Amino acid sequence: MGMTITEKIIAAHSKYSTVRPGDIADIVIDARAARDFGGANVVKNLNDFGLKVDDPQKTLFTFDCNPTGSDQKYAVNQHLCRQYARSNGIRVYDINAGIGTHLLIEEGYVWPGSTAVSTDSHANILGAVGAFGQGMGDMDIAAAWNSGRVWFKVPASVRLNLTGRMPEGITAKDVILNLLRIYGANTLLGYSIELYGESVDRMTLDERITIASMATEMGAIIILFPPTQEIIDYCRARARSPFEPVYADPDARYEITADINVSTFVPMVSRPGEPHDTVGVKELPVTRIDSAFIGSCTNGRMEDMRVTAEILRGKKVAPDVVLKIVPATDAVWKQCLDEGLIDVFKQAGALVSNAGCAGCAAGQVGQNGKGEVTISTGNRNFPGKQGQGSVYLSSPAIVASSALAGYITTPDAIPETPHVFKFSQSGPETAPRQAQGGIDARPSVIKGRVWIIERDNIDTDMIFHNRYLAITDIKEMGQYAFDNLEGYKDFARRAQAGDVIIAGKNFGSGSSRQQAVDCFISLGVQAVIARSFGAIYERNAINAAFPVLTYSSLDKIDLKDQDIITVNLLSGEVTNERNGLTTLINPFYDAQYEIYMKGGLLGRI
């Protein structure tokens, strides 16, 4: 039996000639990147464990989260990374360069069939060129920098065949939002997705990047595009190594194969709070906006800038609406300048900033205030992700049209006179409580009080909000655990050392931040047991020697909130101490237990 694209790439970078879903392999990483907030923790891990960099030519920093250095903690972390880079011969793509995942493609660090890791949870953008990119936590990146390898569990693959003719006006962003409407945030959790069909073959690199960038929001490991000749030529002109593109074997096995008729796709928006809560634009009631943002790793490419300029040319942004535009890379910014697009943006009344991630991760441009309504081309609208207001997600065409109208609309329905709305203002947020201490024991059987949180898709911004990302001392992290999860904002005050969290599907979806694991360790929480986990979160927890386990059902033990349970990590046996009832969940697998007993991934090296 043949292999899928992902399986072939992993096998080619491992000691195995063939791999199958569920196999665990150490794989060679062709490009190893760290960003400005994650980079400081990578450096700390390397220094704390006395580790060196394996190959500086394949290793780089990208300062894309806050490229203005406007936040003091970011500025300190960036300087720390610069000093480490100078001492170790590592390339820094500094505050003038742009988004790291895009630079990996532009600068030839990746190519079809290559592998890459980054502290960016959207490193799977690299699937746009047929490369296997993964976002990982600080420990994983430190391990990759030191050894040039990381362990990886081979995912099962899904084949989606896009059939039919794409309707006029449907953009790449609409394609991925329509797919999110079909599959949600966890139906394809942990899968590697491959896209096929005539409409896929016609997609440009910019369009592929837009779609691939939201694999994380679908819960998928990656969305991979078989490279066309155009993509191959683009990469060959830049690649730092010769390559041959990788395609699935004709007899490759897919866990799921589905045909999706794109002729039914409509222009979409994601409603505030969840990227997968999508709805047709024309199904929305009149929805006023206070601000609009065009950029991010999802829609900051040259094609996005041209569409935006075409809609804005000769017009003005609606009164009291703020429009912010941030190109993805400096090369895109310069091309906008050369083509006169910067002038178009400015004449329309937009703020144009230097290249970078912008609103994500408390970045330099694009944040909103409490009560503010924003329409954004970003890939996430989790509560608090882009500020304290509400964020709708959509395509550049819809965002630009809405900025002119003053409410969410499509290019064919921009009014001659924009509607003017009144704005509201809310008070400041109260300060968080101080955290409690943690525990260090690593028993194979644990016992503790349970917190039953019956929710799916608890994302990393709910667990540990991005406004605290510059914190590197684990002792300070516990006080912010669930600080952004409605109903549990007092969790850190009420939690006790030894507690166990029980949750639903896709726990820890979202970003690659290690702090979303470390905040529980800081509090002394013993484990999280969930129906399923976000892929990066699960890795981060395992690598930090923090127990995470999955279950199908706990009905047999009549579990209630605050019950005491005993969990055998090796057998998966769970006992409710209140009634003596026992059931089985999925136990540790060998690699997880080895890392756990050695105190974490870097203690294993």
pLDDT tens across 473-508, in order? 899 999 999 999 999 999 999 999 999 999 999 999
Rounded CA separation 5/22 (Å): 15
pLDDT at 269 over 90: yes
pLDDT at 61 over 60: yes
Same domain, 330 and 392: yes
pLDDT band at 68 (very low <50, low <70, confident <90, very high): confident
Nearest to 274 by CA among 227, 219, 345, 346: 219
Mean pLDDT calculated for residue range 356-371: 78
pLDDT band at 362 (very low <50, low <70, confident <90, very high): low
Bridge partners, 237 (sequence order):
none
Structure tokens at 192: 């590697």
Same domain, 235 and 311: no
Same domain, 199 and 332: no
Same domain, 455 and 568: yes
Evaluate whether 352 touches 346 at the Cβ level (below 8 Å).
yes
- Can you give the pLDDT at residue 439? 38
- How many structural domains compose the chain? 3
- Can you give the pLDDT at residue 604? 58
Same domain, 401 and 498: no
pLDDT digits (tens, 9 = 90+) for 224-248: 999 999 999 999 999 999 999 999 9
Q: Which domain holds residue 560?
A: 445-604
pLDDT at 429 over 90: no
**406-436 core/surface letters (b: 16 or more CB in 10 A; e: else):** bbbbbbeebeeebeebeeeeeeeeeebbebb
44: left (phi over 0), alpha (psi -120 to 50) or beta: alpha
Residue at which a domain ends, from 264, 288, 304? 264
Same domain, 527 and 452: yes
Rounded CA separation 150/165 (Å): 41
Residue 156, domain member (yes or no): yes
Q: Is the dihedral of CA 379, 381, 386, 390 positive or negative?
A: positive
Rounded CA separation 327/313 (Å): 17
Nearest to 239 by CA among 149, 144, 108: 108
Same domain, 189 and 137: yes
Same domain, 212 and 330: no
Evaluate whether 144 touches 240 at the Cβ level (below 8 Å).
no
Amino acid code (one letter) for 28:
V
pLDDT band at 369 (very low <50, low <70, confident <90, very high): confident
pLDDT at 380 over 90: no
Share the mean pLDDT of the chain. Answer: 92
Residues 6+ apart with CB under 8 A from 431: none
Residue 439, domain member (yes or no): no
Q: Are strands 192-196 and 132-135 parallel, antiparallel or unpaired?
A: unpaired
Same domain, 258 and 281: no
Mean pLDDT calculated for residue range 89-94: 96
pLDDT band at 335 (very low <50, low <70, confident <90, very high): very high
Rounded CA separation 558/282 (Å): 45
Structure tokens at 350: 């937009």
pLDDT digits (tens, 9 = 90+) for 2-30: 999 999 999 999 999 999 999 999 999 99
At residue 316's C-alpha, the angle toward residues 312 and 322, to 5°, is 95
Rounded CA separation 105/512 (Å): 20
Which phi and psi (to 5°) does residue 54 adopt?
-65, -50
Residue 430, domain member (yes or no): no
Q: Residue 157: helix, strand or coil by DSSP?
A: strand
pLDDT at 48 over 50: yes
Same domain, 182 and 199: yes
Mean pLDDT calculated for residue range 559-573: 97
Residue with tokens 């330099």: 364
Same domain, 258 and 277: no
pLDDT band at 438 (very low <50, low <70, confident <90, very high): very low
CATH (domain of 213)? 3.30.499.10
- Can you give the pLDDT at residue 381? 83
Mean pLDDT calculated for residue range 421-432: 45
pLDDT at 513 over 60: yes
Same domain, 507 and 485: yes
pLDDT band at 427 (very low <50, low <70, confident <90, very high): very low
Mean pLDDT calculated for residue range 110-135: 96
CATH (domain of 495)? 3.20.19.10
pLDDT at 103 over 50: yes
- Can you give the pLDDT at residue 432? 39
pLDDT at 425 over 80: no
